[in-house]
Amino acid sequence: MKNGLKTLEQTVATARDWLLIKAALGGDSKSFSILVSFHKKRVQAIGFSFFKNDADVEDFVQEVLLKAFNKLGTFKGGSLFSTWLTRIALNTAINAKNRRQEYKPLADEDRIAAPTKSPEETEIRKATAAAIREAVRELPEKYAVCIELYFFYDNSYEEIAEITSLNLNTVKSNIFRAKKILKEKLRQFYEK
């Protein structure tokens, strides 16, 4: 039933997005603002995975949303709007990274660690998040991008293939290899 519910939610979200896109293309700027409100957190999450400070993330988000607004007429619906927007965000982040040579693959521990019941659990989660962040940072970029999109942004293999312009088997291979490397790196962390 869970898969059926997810499919229904995706169908409703897709229909909602299409209505808002049509209205925005018709000149209704409020519709674009509403559309963005449903997807802004995903763009921010990508920003936090690439940039070190909040000001850079906010600049990144604004740049992505401006690009999306300017290119909205090119969205043909061959994918979900969220996938299209994620691709713009990822391209923008990678281009910025190449310009600045500044990359931080995961967000702060506080953004990763879920609320817990005790300070000890919080510290364990923070240490685990730091170890994961460090392990992902050490991955080759082609693996890091795929594994982040898979685990941290909950994209399917097919969505990752579309976002990264890689073929499906390459995405599966990159994720498999990234998991294998991470497993070994994290095993070393827990053996310390």
17-27 per-position pLDDT tens digit: 999 999 999 99
Query: Residue 179's closest CA among 158, 151, 141?
Result: 151
Instruction: Judge whether 20 and 34 are in contact, CB under 8 Å.
Output: yes
Q: What is the pLDDT of residues 169-184, one digit of tens each?
A: 999 999 999 999 998 8
Determine the pLDDT at residue 166: 86
pLDDT greater than 90 at residue 153: no
Burial class (CB in 10 A: 0-12, 13-18, 19+), 120: exposed
- Quote the CA–CA distance of 127 and 49 in Å, as a whole number: 18
Q: In degrees rounded to 5, what are phi and psi of residue 63?
A: -65, -45
Span 88-140, pLDDT tens digits: 998 898 787 767 644 444 444 444 445 546 888 888 877 877 777 778 778 88
Higher pLDDT, 162 or 157: 157
- Letter for the amino acid at 88? I
Q: How is the chain split among helix, strand and coil, in percent rounded to 5?
A: 80, 0, 20
User: How crowded is residue 111: how many other Cβ atoms within 10 Å of its Cβ?
Assistant: 13
Look at 19-33, 67-81, 99-113, 137-151 and tell me which has the smallest mean pLDDT. Answer: 99-113
Go through the domains of the chain in sequence order and give each one's CATH number: 1-104 (1.10.1740.10), 107-192 (1.10.10.10)
Q: What is the DSSP string of 96-139?
A: HHHHH-----S--HHHHSPP-SSHHHHHHHHHHHHHHHHHHHTS
